[in-house]
Amino acid sequence: MTVLAVSTDSHFTHKIWQKEELEKMVEGGVPFPMLSDANGSIGRAYGVYEEAAGVDIRGRFIIDPDFTIRAMEVLTPEVGRNVSELIRQVKAFQHVVKTGEVTPSGWQPGKPTLKPGFTLAGEVWKEWKPEMAFD
């Protein structure tokens, strides 16, 4: 798995952000590259570039090895992201690829999965309960 952070900020701004903020929150700062999208081309490609402001809107994308976007989330700046949910989703996609099983809402490693197929339709209720999404 490769994690990249991308913003329209310059690499100089990223360096200052890392030193003045991130290293104070996470020992050693964030352990992944921060890339500059100064001209907004990456943000445009993913539909998160805001032309009027000249910035990328906050978003996260889970992209598989075949470069298929498996999940995305876009939030305005005033709402923080949930890193635990991102990690859960990455683990779920990895499990799906490895096993061919389906992970229901809120799935965590080691929890029950579903077997995909025509027999699953109308039968999910037998295997999965809503409270399982909150364990």
SS3 string of 6-62?
EECCCHHHHHHHHHHHHHHHCCCCCCCCEEECCCCHHHHHCCCEECCCCEECCEEEE
Instruction: Identify whether residues 37 and 103 lie together within a single domain.
Output: no
Q: Where among 81, 106, 121 does a domain terminate? A: 81
CA 86 to each of CA 92, 97, 111, 120: distance values in angstroms, whole numbers, following the listed order: 10, 17, 17, 26
d(CA 40, CA 19): 24
Instruction: Identify whether residues 115 and 67 lie together within a single domain.
Output: no
Instruction: Identify whether residues 47 and 89 lie together within a single domain.
Output: no
Instruction: Identify whether residues 45 and 92 lie together within a single domain.
Output: no
Give the domain range for residue 73: 1-81
pTM of the model: 0.79
**Contacts made by residues 111-115, CB under 8 angstroms, sequence distance 24+:** 111/135
**Segment among 27-31, 52-56, 131-135 with least mean pLDDT:** 131-135
Average pLDDT over all residues of the chain: 90
Dihedral sign computed on CA atoms, order 120, 94, 86, 72? negative
Instruction: Identify whether residues 23 and 74 lie together within a single domain.
Output: yes
Q: Where among 38, 66, 81 does a domain terminate? A: 81
CB atoms within 10 A of CB 71: 15
Instruction: Identify whether residues 93 and 73 lie together within a single domain.
Output: no
Instruction: Identify whether residues 6 and 69 lie together within a single domain.
Output: yes
Query: Residue 70: its pLDDT value, please?
Result: 93
Instruction: Identify whether residues 91 and 52 lie together within a single domain.
Output: no
Cα 87 from chain centroid (whole Å): 7
Query: Residue 127: its pLDDT value, please?
Result: 82
Total count of domains within the chain: 2
Query: Residue 135: its pLDDT value, please?
Result: 67
Query: Residue 96: its pLDDT value, please?
Result: 93
In percent, the amount of the chain with pLDDT more than 90 equals 56
